[in-house]
Amino acid sequence: MNNGIIAVGPTLAVVLVLLTTTAAMIVWLGRLTAWRPILTAAVRATVQLAAVSLLIVAVLRSGWLTAAFVLMMFAVASLTCGRRIGTWRDGMWTAIALAAGVAPVLGLLTASGLIPLSPIAMVPVAGILIGGAMTATSLAGRRALDELRTRHGEYEAALALGFLPRDAALLISRPTAGQALVPALDQTRTVGLVTLPGAFVGVLLGGATPIQAGATQLVVLIALLAVESAAVLLTVELIAAGKLGSANWPDPGR
């Protein structure tokens, strides 16, 4: 690393291969999960970042290309959430959940002038917000469906007591789905004490003062809490309504 920049070369390749192999061996030997997804994720990340690195200069020179790039990130995030929660077709519903969180928050940040309407600012901020919403939506959806499957008897009992299907589903799924916010909450609570997140470091390396870098990171963290809260809430509502993840919820009455 020279002046805060990682040198690209054989050393980088060797270290990345070593780290990937170590992670794959740990999950395999520890019987945590299959080792193949670790290798697949690492290879995909390498290829995708290489492609983005080649395209990003052209993207940042055009407002239209920047908008298209942000929409592409949103589409990929929606499909990823849909696949994690149910099937690819659920991507339409997860897109609604993601948009409910990302669109108003990103709109507020740009309308207030905190985030300039320039490609160099919009792409990373939009990526951070979409990525956070994607993670929270996937976690909330999977957790809610797990609860509905394992506690299906309680759901049926609530129906027998006169609860509407939506209310019965929310009674079971909503409390645990909120656990999807734990990573964002922990990151916000411990920022500066445990970690210095990417926005802070990036702005600082870009020449800003520590105060400016801290303010930028604070905006990002608080924005993420708002984005993920809205996305999680709508995800649970869509599952309770039988719109999202219905293929993984064995309830013939819906």
Rounded CA-CA distance 160/253 in Å is 13
- Tokens read off for 59: 């993207």
User: How does pLDDT run across 176-186, given as a tens digit for each residue?
Assistant: 888 888 888 88
pLDDT at 121: 81
pLDDT at 133: 94
pLDDT at 118: 82
Q: Is the pLDDT of residue 66 over 70?
A: yes
Q: Is the pLDDT of residue 168 over 70?
A: yes
pLDDT at 2: 52
Instruction: Give the residue-averaged pLDDT of 172-198.
Output: 80
| Mean pLDDT rounded to a whole number for the chain | 84
pLDDT at 206: 62
Report the predicted TM-score, pTM, of the whole model to 2 decimal places: 0.81
Q: How does DSSP classify residue 31?
A: T
Rounded CA-CA distance 81/90 in Å is 8
- Across 67-81, 127-141, 149-163, least confident range: 149-163
Q: Is the pLDDT of residue 196 over 60?
A: yes
Range 149-178 burial, b when 16+ CB lie within 10 A, else e: eebeeebeebbeeeeebeebbbebbbeebb
Q: Which of 8-12, 34-38, 129-133 has the highest mean pLDDT?
A: 129-133
Instruction: Give the residue-averaged pLDDT of 20-29.
Output: 89
118: left (phi over 0), alpha (psi -120 to 50) or beta: beta
Give the three-class secondary structure for 152.
helix
Tally helices (H) and strands (E) across the chain: 10, 0
Instruction: Give the residue-averaged pLDDT of 51-69.
Output: 81
User: How does pLDDT run across 82-132, given as a tens digit for each residue?
Assistant: 988 888 788 899 999 999 999 999 999 999 988 888 888 888 889 999 999
Q: Is the pLDDT of residue 252 over 50?
A: no
pLDDT at 199: 64
